[in-house]
Amino acid sequence: MYGNKFLHDSSSITVYNGKTLQGDEWTFDKSSDYPNVNVYMQSYFFTGSKTSWLLFNDTNYNGTSTCLEPAELAQRYGFGVTYSGDERINIKSIRSTDSCPSDEPEPDYSGVSYLKIWKEGLLFGSMVALCRFFCLRN
């Protein structure tokens, strides 16, 4: 592993109430959860390529969340720095996470058999073939 271990997986995020890492600062460690904080963040800084951070606009991890992922280059090379100098987020609770939640809902396949999907696909394919045969003849 090249470089400083700290750059591979940070144990904390530091947020600032001023732009470009200025103003008052708060540091949150990934080994702890913070269900009740009151921080206005305009910039942040963390290192590593594995830890993401979930920031909530309400206490106890409720409300709308914002997920901060490691920068693309940090993810690609396995180490690096993630920084933003112009954010405006009121943080009421914060915790680390292995990855950000997906915006896409998971498909619900409960109650659907693969045989049914296969049969429907086969039926649709047969209908297309028949249509091509008969429709193109006219």
Task: Give pTM, 2 decimals.
Answer: 0.65
Q: How far is CA 113 from CA 3, 108, 124, 125, in A?
A: 50, 12, 17, 19
pLDDT, one tens digit per residue, over 1-41 is 334 444 445 678 889 999 888 999 999 988 888 999 999 99
Query: In Å, how far are 17, 31, 69, 116 from 41, measured between CA atoms?
Result: 5, 21, 16, 51
List all residues 6 or more positions away from 63 whose beta carbon is below 8 Å from its beta carbon: 56, 57, 92
Domains of the chain from N-terminus onward: 5-97 (2.60.20.10)
